[in-house]
């Protein structure tokens, strides 16, 4: 089955989309501003003979002319972290403040967790949760290398995250970078679609809805929840938002993103979604030379 062909109705430049999906991604790193500055990191890379170019929409992202940034001493020391451009979107949209209490519901291996910590100046508290025990080791390792100290790592089903024992009544904000079909990762993982099925979409969308609902329920009124996936499927994106809007005390918020994006779709295969899903952003691989991504911002408490 040609999975990607199902998205032709959503694009007026479908050929460019398919061509982009066949190309390798640029090699990017995020500068860890808890340990160094962007200028100092660029100088260190230059001394290693590696050219670095700033990514226009995010000051701390650098495109490198090497496919092995992890073999450099700035990376080893935690100055750099390998991070795809679209992976940097959710923390930017969440925009936490130092001192905030943040739930990162599906955190491993920690790229977004580390970015949140840097934005918070390593203050406040991030509860970095992941249901997969095997993924906690790289999460912890990355936090140690990056010098992050405001993270508590937990191993729970994100559908049942608890506030018990933390000493506060609710999170200020939550990030749900949900488990998904991974269609948008095809540029770095060409076999991503080998086990794809519409049955899996049905199963994973149910999981996504439940995780997002729980994140909303443990976030304070007036707080923010960011929902993100690396898939093109409306079943995992707009349909999830539509279902959650029906049952939870929340609303979708518009937000700016300095990338070429499409709005969320309000109709898919005969199913109609709440008009407010248009405030979500779809990032297609050919528009910004990135992976595929979806992101939405919700305000808790209506």
So which residues are the catalytic ones? Answer: 230
Which has the closest alpha carbon to 144: 68, 77, 84, 45? 77
Which has the closest alpha carbon to 173: 222, 115, 112, 219? 219
Q: How many CB atoms lie within 10 A of CB 299?
A: 17
Question: What does the alpha-carbon distance between residue 92 and residue 19 come to, in Å, rounded to a whole number?
Answer: 28
Distant-in-sequence, close-in-space partners of 184: CB < 8 Å, separation ≥ 6 = 86, 229, 230, 231, 232, 283, 285, 291, 292, 293, 294
Q: Could you give the C-alpha distances from 299 to 136, 217, 238, in angstroms and in order?
A: 29, 12, 16
Question: What does the alpha-carbon distance between residue 254 and residue 194 come to, in Å, rounded to a whole number?
Answer: 35
Local structure of residue 184 (DSSP, 8 states): G
Question: What does the alpha-carbon distance between residue 116 and residue 105 come to, in Å, rounded to a whole number?
Answer: 13
| Stretch (H or E) spanning 140 | helix 136-146
Question: What does the alpha-carbon distance between residue 261 and residue 259 come to, in Å, rounded to a whole number?
Answer: 6
C-alpha Rg value of the chain to the nearest Å: 19
């Amino acid at each position: 089955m040609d999975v990607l062909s199902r998205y032709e109705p959503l694009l007026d430049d479908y050929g460019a989309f398919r061509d982009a999906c066949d190309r390798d991604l640029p090699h990017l790193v995020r500068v860890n501003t808890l340990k160094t500055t962007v200028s100092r990191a660029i100088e260190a890379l230059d001394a290693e003979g590696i050219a670095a170019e700033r990514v226009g929409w995010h000051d701390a992202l650098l495109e490198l002319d090497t496919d092995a940034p992890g073999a450099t001493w700035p990376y080893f020391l935690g100055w750099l972290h390998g991070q795809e451009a679209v992976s940097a979107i959710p923390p930017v949209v969440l925009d936490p403040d130092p001192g905030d209490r943040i739930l990162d519901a599906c955190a491993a291996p920690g790229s977004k967790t580390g970015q949140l910590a840097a934005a918070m100046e390593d203050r406040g508290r991030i509860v970095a949760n992941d249901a997969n025990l095997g993924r906690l080791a790289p999460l912890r390792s990355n936090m140690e290398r990056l010098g992050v100290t405001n993270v508590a790592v937990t191993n729970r089903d994100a559908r049942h995250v608890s506030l018990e024992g933390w000493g506060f009544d609710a999170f200020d904000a939550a990030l749900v970078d949900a488990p998904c079909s991974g269609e948008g990762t095809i540029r770095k993982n060409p076999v991503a679609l080998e086990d794809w099925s519409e049955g899996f979409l049905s199963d994973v969308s149910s999981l996504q809805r439940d995780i997002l609902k729980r994140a909303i329920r443990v976030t304070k009124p007036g707080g923010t929840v960011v929902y993100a996936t690396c898939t093109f499927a409306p079943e995992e994106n707009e349909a999830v938002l539509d279902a959650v809007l029906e049952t939870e005390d929340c609303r979708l918020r518009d937000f700016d993103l300095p990338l070429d994006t499409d709005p969320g779709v309000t109709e898919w295969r005969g199913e109609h979604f709440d008009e407010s899903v248009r405030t979500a952003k779809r990032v297609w691989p050919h528009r910004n030379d990135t992976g595929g991504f979806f992101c939405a911002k919700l305000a808790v408490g209506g």
